[in-house]
Structure 1
Amino acid sequence: MSGVWEVYAIKYAERNARVRGDSFLFDPRHDVPHAMDYFMWLLRRGPETILVDTGYDMDEGERRARPIRTDPAEALAPLGVSPDSIEQVIVTHLHYDHAGGLHLFPNATLHMQAAEMAYATGPCMCHDVIRMPYTADHICTAIKRLYAGKVVFHDGDAEIAEGVTVHKIGGHSRGLQAVRVRTEAGWLCLASDAAHYYENAFARKAFPLVVDLEDMMNGFARLEALASRRELIVPGHDPLVFSHYPDIGCETILRLDHGPSRSLKV
């Protein structure tokens, strides 16, 4: 297949002090431990690179008592990519763990849904519980990038580059978008937080942090429609991704574009 992209999942943090009740609404095993991994993703085709999300930095980790393993700017080094070389960033949504490193990529134009910027800067942020996963400094960075002419807004489905499209899902946040990428294995769907875990999508289990439950539930079917086959859906935070895809000789980076190397059992 011509015009395909390489896709890498880059783990920069993990949080193991969680239970299933933090991941699934109404789960009968709510107190069973349930770990979470934190990723960003790099798309590469020849000299072209697109970063999907930016993670968060050490200062944010300390502020939230959620330390990171690797600074997002340094996490790309094993792939031979420097932060200054990144010119396109797809921001799936503006939560701290997806947009907390925007300042680390100063030359990047940001691609996001218009609904997400409106949500993150609008009256919903008057509520502490809704504002909790956002950080004001990250939103200010996005606004400064906007005033520098380096934000492209999308409203629904859009093409970022040949073989790379974004699709508004909503649910978890008002303007959450998934990313579809043409790869050697077919159309791969980076779900981001449209499905934190395989179990969210495949068992139709809602994640508790939700602004629109109907959008979230409908989004699981949308992810399946975007991917060539369901095993090419890549959830945003599931440690099981490490059980399905090979690393590149670096234990924190997985290669996704050849498809799962092991049977998908979730």
Structure 2
Amino acid sequence: MRSLQALPDTGALADDEYFVYALCYAHNGSRRVHDAFLMPQDLHNGPMPIDYSIWIVENGYRRFIVDLGFDPASAARRNRKLTHDPVGALERIGVRCEAVSDVVITHLHCDHAGNIERFPTATVHVQDSEVAFVASRCMCEDHLRFPYELDHVLNVMRKNFAKQLAFHDGDDILFPGVTLHKLPGHTAGLQGVRVKTPRGPVLLASDATHYFPNAYNLKPHPITLDVASMIASYRKIISLVPGPDYVIPGHDPKVRAIYPKLMVNGIVLHALHDTPSETDAGYFQSVTNYLPEYPLEQ
């Protein structure tokens, strides 16, 4: 593992080409296979730990962040143990909140949409339908409201009133080499981010597929607003990239297992623009290869 004082230089990249890093800020090793699939009767119930990550995308022309994770207060309310405050970890690797011009929020669930207020000048990119859902009568239903935090939703509204909320209605171009793709199912307006990198197009799918096997076995996750839409989104994910080794799920520890890692000022990152150690399709379809305890330092 390389140990650096700053993120690697991006000077050789073209305007439409990027380095992409995963920053895992929390981990739960107690989850089981039956927590990951809606109808798991044909599967064993072995360990299926879960990671929580945000993503940094940059070249010499721009830098933006995809998702902002739990904020410490909402994590404490939900009994989630953070290894790093996501924003504090960003600052340690040299990403200053006040200097971030754009943040993509894939969806407004509590483990993705915290900390918006800590980026005072950033434009936040969301899907129309995601914001419409959290402002609808659906929030009167406990089951539908549970994954959201009121403070996070209010911070989105504050961005809107400050003219710092960018709405997208379906697939869209964000920057040269970066496209947004609507992938509903888990939520009403979840969006993935496809990024051109030196090895090809990498899709930050977020919770459109929590784990590789959700999409590549067409097995929906239990937390699903619309099962039919989720399965359709799985098929769309598969169509957007050359193979499963170009998809980055929202919570799969396999990402940390196969991508090269580097340490920047004590924060471990995984370089998603580099070739992973595993490219066999069967590996990504399998629900095995998950360890009961997955060290956060890896």
Give the shorter-chain TM-score range. over 0.9
Out of 91, 94, 104, the residue aligned to residue 118 of structure 2 is 104
Give the Cα separation in 2 of the matches to 1:158 and 1:124: 26
Counterpart-to-counterpart distance in 2, 1:155 and 1:6: 26
Alpha carbons 2:212, 2:244 under 8 Å: kept: no
Q: Aligned pair 1:196/2:210, yes or no?
A: yes
Which ranges in structure 2 are unaligned for 5 or more consecutive residues? Answer: 1-12, 285-298
Contact 2:21/2:273 (CA < 8 Å) preserved in 1?
A: yes
- 1:157-176 matches, within 5 Å, as 157-176=171-190
Looking at structure 2, the residues matched to 104 and 180 of structure 1 have their Cα atoms a distance apart, in angstroms, of 25
Q: Give 1:18's aligned residue.
A: 31
Structure 1 contact 113–154 (Cα < 8 Å) conserved: yes
Higher RCO, 1 or 2 (CA under 8 Å, sep at least 6)?
Answer: 2
SS in structure 2 opposite 1:209? coil
1:30 Cα deviation from its structure 2 partner: 6.1
**Kept after mapping to 1: 8 A contact 2:205/2:249:** yes
CA contact (8 A) 1:191 1:223 kept: yes
Superposed displacement of residue 103, structure 1: 1.7
Q: Which residue of 2 aligns with 1:140?
A: 154
- 2:69–2:115 CA contact under 8 A, matched in 1: yes
Letter in 1 for 2:95: V
2:231 matches 1:217: yes
Choose from 207, 212, 223 the match for 2:221.
Answer: 207
The structure whose Rg is larger is: 2
Counterparts of 2:261 and 2:61 in 1: how far apart (Å)?
Answer: 22
Any conservation in 1 of the 2:17–2:198 contact (CA below 8 Å)?
yes
TM superposition shift of 1:51: 0.5
Aligned partners of 1:244 and 1:263 also within 8 Å: no
Count residues in correspondence: 266
* 2:87 counterpart letter in structure 1: A
**Identical aligned pairs, as a percentage?**
38
- Runs (4+) off by over 4 Å: none
2:228 is paired with a residue whose SS is helix
Aligned-residue CA RMSD (Å): 1.5
Distance 1:129 1:122 in 2: 14
Query: After the TM superposition, which of the residue ranges 191-200 and 242-251 deviates more from structure 2?
Result: 242-251
Partner of 2:65, secondary structure, is strand
SS at structure 1 position matched to 2:73 = helix
Structure 1 residue runs of 5 or longer lacking an equivalent are: none
The TM-score with structure 1 as length reference comes to 0.96
Q: Deviations over 1:212-246 (max 9, x none)?
A: 11110011111111113331011110001011101
CA offsets per residue over residues 18-48 of structure 1, 9 Å max, x none? Answer: 2212111111346432210000101001141
Deviates further, 72-81 or 97-106: 72-81
Pair 177,166 (structure 1): closer, same or farther in 2 beyond 3 Å: same
Task: Trace 1:247-266 onto structure 2 (pairs within 5 A).
Answer: 247-249=261-263, 252-264=268-280, 265-266=283-284
- Aligned-pair CA distance for 1:76: 1.5
Once the 2 structures are TM-superposed, how far is the Cα of residue 172 of structure 1 from its aligned partner?
A: 0.2
The CA distance in 2 between the partners of 1:206 and 1:139, in whole Å, is: 26
- The CA deviation at 1:55 is 0.4
Give the TM-score normalised by the residue count of structure 2: 0.86
2:253 to 235, 239, 243: 239
- Whether contact under 8 Å (1:168, 1:178) holds in the other structure is yes
